[in-house]
Homo-oligomer: A and B are copies of this chain.
Amino acid sequence: MKLENLIQNIKQKQSFLCVGLDVDLEKIPAHLLEFEDPIFEFNKRIIDATKDYAVAYKPNIAFYECHGSKGWDALKKTVDYIPEDIFTIADAKRGDIGNTSHYYAKTFFEYLNFDAVTVAPYMGVDSVTPFLEYKDKWVILLALTSNKGALDFQFTTDIKGEQLFEKVVRKSSEWGDASKLMYVVGATRKESIEKVRAASPNHFFLVPGVGAQGGSLEDVANYGWNDNCGLLVNSSRGIIYAGQGVNFDKEVKLAAKNIQSEMAAILKSKHFI
Protein backbone atom coordinates (compact mmCIF):
# COMPACT_ATOMS: atom_id res chain seq x y z
CA MET A 1 0.00 0.00 0.00
CA LYS A 2 1.14 3.52 -0.75
CA LEU A 3 1.41 6.21 1.92
CA GLU A 4 -1.25 8.35 0.23
CA ASN A 5 -3.76 5.48 0.36
CA LEU A 6 -3.15 4.99 4.05
CA ILE A 7 -3.68 8.70 4.71
CA GLN A 8 -6.82 8.69 2.57
CA ASN A 9 -8.21 5.73 4.54
CA ILE A 10 -7.56 7.55 7.82
CA LYS A 11 -9.51 10.56 6.56
CA GLN A 12 -12.32 8.49 5.11
CA LYS A 13 -12.85 6.26 8.14
CA GLN A 14 -12.04 9.06 10.59
CA SER A 15 -9.86 6.55 12.35
CA PHE A 16 -6.23 5.61 12.91
CA LEU A 17 -7.11 2.34 14.62
CA CYS A 18 -5.13 -0.85 14.11
CA VAL A 19 -6.81 -3.99 15.45
CA GLY A 20 -4.38 -6.57 16.84
CA LEU A 21 -5.41 -10.11 15.92
CA ASP A 22 -3.69 -11.93 18.81
CA VAL A 23 -5.86 -15.01 18.91
CA ASP A 24 -5.66 -17.13 22.03
CA LEU A 25 -7.81 -20.27 21.84
CA GLU A 26 -8.32 -20.12 25.60
CA LYS A 27 -9.98 -16.73 25.32
CA ILE A 28 -12.23 -16.99 22.27
CA PRO A 29 -15.95 -17.81 22.61
CA ALA A 30 -16.42 -21.54 23.22
CA HIS A 31 -18.81 -22.19 20.34
CA LEU A 32 -16.06 -21.35 17.82
CA LEU A 33 -13.91 -24.23 19.04
CA GLU A 34 -16.27 -26.61 17.26
CA PHE A 35 -15.19 -25.34 13.85
CA GLU A 36 -12.35 -26.98 11.96
CA ASP A 37 -10.33 -23.76 12.03
CA PRO A 38 -11.42 -21.82 15.14
CA ILE A 39 -8.67 -19.20 14.72
CA PHE A 40 -9.85 -18.21 11.28
CA GLU A 41 -13.53 -18.33 12.28
CA PHE A 42 -12.80 -15.96 15.17
CA ASN A 43 -10.78 -13.59 12.99
CA LYS A 44 -13.45 -13.59 10.28
CA ARG A 45 -16.03 -12.39 12.78
CA ILE A 46 -13.64 -9.83 14.29
CA ILE A 47 -12.84 -8.45 10.84
CA ASP A 48 -16.52 -8.31 9.85
CA ALA A 49 -17.33 -6.48 13.08
CA THR A 50 -14.50 -3.96 12.96
CA LYS A 51 -13.63 -3.30 9.32
CA ASP A 52 -15.59 -0.04 9.17
CA TYR A 53 -13.61 1.37 12.08
CA ALA A 54 -10.10 0.03 11.49
CA VAL A 55 -7.50 1.21 8.97
CA ALA A 56 -5.10 -1.63 9.81
CA TYR A 57 -5.00 -5.20 11.13
CA LYS A 58 -2.01 -6.66 12.93
CA PRO A 59 -1.81 -10.40 13.65
CA ASN A 60 1.03 -11.17 16.04
CA ILE A 61 2.72 -14.19 14.49
CA ALA A 62 3.53 -15.86 17.83
CA PHE A 63 -0.15 -16.66 18.33
CA TYR A 64 -0.26 -18.51 15.01
CA GLU A 65 3.05 -20.33 14.85
CA CYS A 66 2.49 -21.97 18.24
CA HIS A 67 -0.06 -24.12 16.36
CA GLY A 68 2.49 -25.16 13.75
CA SER A 69 1.41 -25.61 10.14
CA LYS A 70 -2.29 -25.31 11.11
CA GLY A 71 -1.58 -21.92 12.62
CA TRP A 72 0.18 -20.81 9.44
CA ASP A 73 -2.80 -21.87 7.37
CA ALA A 74 -5.13 -19.91 9.66
CA LEU A 75 -2.85 -16.89 9.32
CA LYS A 76 -2.86 -17.08 5.54
CA LYS A 77 -6.63 -17.40 5.39
CA THR A 78 -6.94 -14.43 7.75
CA VAL A 79 -4.72 -12.12 5.67
CA ASP A 80 -6.57 -13.16 2.54
CA TYR A 81 -9.89 -12.33 4.21
CA ILE A 82 -8.90 -8.78 5.20
CA PRO A 83 -10.40 -6.28 2.69
CA GLU A 84 -7.76 -5.13 0.23
CA ASP A 85 -7.98 -1.45 1.14
CA ILE A 86 -7.00 -2.12 4.77
CA PHE A 87 -3.32 -2.01 5.75
CA THR A 88 -2.00 -5.36 7.04
CA ILE A 89 0.90 -5.71 9.46
CA ALA A 90 2.72 -8.95 10.31
CA ASP A 91 3.84 -8.37 13.88
CA ALA A 92 6.78 -10.74 13.59
CA LYS A 93 9.72 -8.76 15.03
CA ARG A 94 12.09 -10.60 12.71
CA GLY A 95 15.65 -9.64 11.80
CA ASP A 96 18.68 -11.68 10.72
CA ILE A 97 21.76 -11.37 8.50
CA GLY A 98 20.97 -10.10 5.01
CA ASN A 99 20.61 -13.41 3.20
CA THR A 100 18.26 -14.70 5.89
CA SER A 101 16.22 -11.51 6.26
CA HIS A 102 15.62 -11.81 2.53
CA TYR A 103 13.76 -15.08 3.22
CA TYR A 104 11.76 -13.51 6.02
CA ALA A 105 10.79 -10.72 3.62
CA LYS A 106 9.73 -13.35 1.08
CA THR A 107 7.56 -15.02 3.72
CA PHE A 108 5.64 -11.95 4.79
CA PHE A 109 5.56 -9.93 1.56
CA GLU A 110 5.23 -12.68 -1.06
CA TYR A 111 3.83 -15.83 0.52
CA LEU A 112 1.49 -14.02 2.92
CA ASN A 113 1.22 -10.72 1.02
CA PHE A 114 1.25 -8.45 4.09
CA ASP A 115 1.73 -4.71 3.55
CA ALA A 116 4.14 -4.39 6.46
CA VAL A 117 6.27 -6.37 8.88
CA THR A 118 7.72 -5.40 12.26
CA VAL A 119 11.51 -5.80 12.42
CA ALA A 120 13.97 -5.76 15.36
CA PRO A 121 16.93 -3.38 14.92
CA TYR A 122 19.70 -5.06 16.94
CA MET A 123 21.48 -6.60 13.92
CA GLY A 124 21.60 -3.32 11.99
CA VAL A 125 21.42 -2.28 8.38
CA ASP A 126 21.69 -5.57 6.48
CA SER A 127 19.01 -7.14 8.68
CA VAL A 128 16.55 -4.40 7.69
CA THR A 129 17.26 -3.46 4.06
CA PRO A 130 16.08 -6.74 2.44
CA PHE A 131 12.59 -5.82 3.65
CA LEU A 132 12.90 -2.28 2.28
CA GLU A 133 13.61 -3.48 -1.24
CA TYR A 134 9.97 -4.39 -1.86
CA LYS A 135 7.90 -1.74 -3.64
CA ASP A 136 4.91 -0.43 -1.67
CA LYS A 137 5.77 -2.67 1.28
CA TRP A 138 6.74 -1.40 4.71
CA VAL A 139 9.16 -2.03 7.54
CA ILE A 140 7.97 -1.08 11.00
CA LEU A 141 11.14 -0.98 13.07
CA LEU A 142 11.15 -1.39 16.85
CA ALA A 143 12.29 1.92 18.30
CA LEU A 144 10.74 2.30 21.74
CA THR A 145 8.64 -0.60 22.95
CA SER A 146 5.85 -0.42 25.52
CA ASN A 147 7.03 -3.20 27.83
CA LYS A 148 9.01 -3.15 31.07
CA GLY A 149 12.12 -4.59 29.38
CA ALA A 150 12.36 -1.50 27.14
CA LEU A 151 14.22 0.05 30.08
CA ASP A 152 17.05 -2.50 29.87
CA PHE A 153 18.73 -1.39 26.65
CA GLN A 154 16.62 1.10 24.67
CA PHE A 155 17.42 4.04 26.96
CA THR A 156 21.18 3.40 27.02
CA THR A 157 22.80 6.82 26.61
CA ASP A 158 25.96 7.08 24.55
CA ILE A 159 28.86 9.44 25.08
CA LYS A 160 27.16 12.10 22.94
CA GLY A 161 24.01 11.97 25.06
CA GLU A 162 21.96 10.08 22.48
CA GLN A 163 19.72 7.28 23.72
CA LEU A 164 19.72 3.97 21.86
CA PHE A 165 16.13 4.31 20.61
CA GLU A 166 17.01 7.76 19.21
CA LYS A 167 20.07 6.31 17.51
CA VAL A 168 17.95 3.53 15.99
CA VAL A 169 15.58 6.14 14.58
CA ARG A 170 18.33 8.49 13.37
CA LYS A 171 20.39 5.83 11.61
CA SER A 172 17.50 3.83 10.18
CA SER A 173 15.79 6.89 8.72
CA GLU A 174 18.77 6.98 6.33
CA TRP A 175 17.81 3.46 5.15
CA GLY A 176 14.18 4.19 4.32
CA ASP A 177 12.02 7.30 4.09
CA ALA A 178 8.48 7.85 5.35
CA SER A 179 7.03 6.11 2.30
CA LYS A 180 8.24 2.67 3.45
CA LEU A 181 9.46 2.86 7.02
CA MET A 182 7.53 3.33 10.26
CA TYR A 183 8.52 2.97 13.91
CA VAL A 184 7.06 1.07 16.82
CA VAL A 185 6.71 3.64 19.59
CA GLY A 186 4.97 2.52 22.77
CA ALA A 187 2.19 4.67 24.24
CA THR A 188 3.39 4.16 27.79
CA ARG A 189 6.19 6.77 27.74
CA LYS A 190 4.88 10.08 26.46
CA GLU A 191 8.05 12.18 26.83
CA SER A 192 9.87 9.64 24.71
CA ILE A 193 7.19 9.66 22.00
CA GLU A 194 7.99 13.36 21.69
CA LYS A 195 11.70 12.56 21.29
CA VAL A 196 11.06 10.03 18.55
CA ARG A 197 8.79 12.50 16.78
CA ALA A 198 11.55 15.12 16.94
CA ALA A 199 14.02 12.64 15.44
CA SER A 200 11.64 11.52 12.67
CA PRO A 201 9.13 14.25 11.81
CA ASN A 202 7.75 12.46 8.76
CA HIS A 203 7.52 8.76 9.62
CA PHE A 204 4.37 7.05 10.84
CA PHE A 205 4.39 5.44 14.29
CA LEU A 206 2.71 2.17 15.13
CA VAL A 207 1.69 2.65 18.74
CA PRO A 208 0.97 -0.27 21.07
CA GLY A 209 0.25 0.11 24.76
CA VAL A 210 -2.98 2.13 24.76
CA GLY A 211 -5.63 0.59 27.01
CA ALA A 212 -4.63 -2.59 28.88
CA GLN A 213 -0.99 -1.47 29.13
CA GLY A 214 -1.88 2.00 30.48
CA GLY A 215 -1.07 4.46 27.66
CA SER A 216 -3.52 7.26 26.80
CA LEU A 217 -4.83 8.10 23.35
CA GLU A 218 -4.69 11.86 24.01
CA ASP A 219 -1.05 11.70 25.03
CA VAL A 220 -0.18 9.72 21.93
CA ALA A 221 -1.99 12.24 19.73
CA ASN A 222 -0.40 15.20 21.49
CA TYR A 223 3.16 13.91 21.43
CA GLY A 224 3.22 11.78 18.29
CA TRP A 225 1.12 13.74 15.80
CA ASN A 226 2.52 14.95 12.47
CA ASP A 227 1.03 16.64 9.40
CA ASN A 228 -0.14 13.31 7.96
CA CYS A 229 -1.60 12.17 11.32
CA GLY A 230 1.47 9.91 11.50
CA LEU A 231 -0.15 7.46 13.90
CA LEU A 232 -1.57 3.97 13.84
CA VAL A 233 -2.74 3.13 17.34
CA ASN A 234 -3.12 -0.55 18.07
CA SER A 235 -5.67 -2.19 20.31
CA SER A 236 -5.75 -5.96 20.66
CA ARG A 237 -7.29 -7.40 23.82
CA GLY A 238 -9.51 -4.35 24.45
CA ILE A 239 -11.35 -5.02 21.20
CA ILE A 240 -11.11 -8.68 20.25
CA TYR A 241 -12.02 -9.99 23.71
CA ALA A 242 -14.64 -7.29 24.41
CA GLY A 243 -17.48 -9.82 24.09
CA GLN A 244 -18.26 -13.40 25.03
CA GLY A 245 -20.95 -15.86 23.95
CA VAL A 246 -22.49 -16.43 20.55
CA ASN A 247 -23.08 -12.72 19.90
CA PHE A 248 -19.64 -11.60 21.05
CA ASP A 249 -19.14 -9.68 17.83
CA LYS A 250 -21.75 -7.07 18.81
CA GLU A 251 -19.60 -5.97 21.75
CA VAL A 252 -16.46 -6.20 19.63
CA LYS A 253 -18.05 -3.84 17.12
CA LEU A 254 -19.05 -1.43 19.87
CA ALA A 255 -15.55 -1.46 21.36
CA ALA A 256 -14.01 -0.62 17.98
CA LYS A 257 -16.64 2.03 17.29
CA ASN A 258 -15.95 3.70 20.64
CA ILE A 259 -12.23 4.01 19.96
CA GLN A 260 -12.95 5.22 16.42
CA SER A 261 -15.22 7.94 17.86
CA GLU A 262 -12.44 9.13 20.16
CA MET A 263 -10.08 9.13 17.19
CA ALA A 264 -12.55 11.06 15.02
CA ALA A 265 -12.73 13.74 17.73
CA ILE A 266 -8.94 13.98 17.79
CA LEU A 267 -8.70 14.15 13.99
CA LYS A 268 -11.27 16.96 14.01
CA SER A 269 -9.52 18.85 16.79
CA LYS A 270 -6.33 18.70 14.70
CA HIS A 271 -8.29 19.94 11.64
CA PHE A 272 -7.20 16.83 9.75
CA ILE A 273 -10.77 16.05 8.70
Contacts and interface: CB of A to CB of B under 8 A. Distances in A.
A97 interface: yes
With most chain B CB atoms within 10 A of its CB, the pick from A60, A123, A147, A159 is A123
A33 interface: no
Nearest to A143: B122
Interface stretch (A2-10, A104-112, A245-253, A261-269): A104-112
Interface in A28-78: 60, 62-63, 65-70, 72-73, 76
A245 B53 CA distance: 56
A271 to B, nearest CB: 35
A168 interface: yes
Interface residues of A, number: 57
A152 B168 CA distance: 8
A174 to B, nearest CB: 10
Interface stretch (A125-133, A194-202, A218-226): A125-133
Interface string A123-161: 111111000000000000010011111111110111100
B96 A123 contact: no
A13 interface: no
Given A73-B69, A145-B123, A62 B153 contact: no
A230 interface: no
Given A93-B120, A120-B93, A159-B158, A126 B148 contact: yes
Interface of A: 22, 60, 62-63, 65-70, 72-73, 76, 91, 93-98, 100-101, 103-104, 106-107, 110-112, 120-128, 142, 145-154, 156-159, 164, 167-168, 171
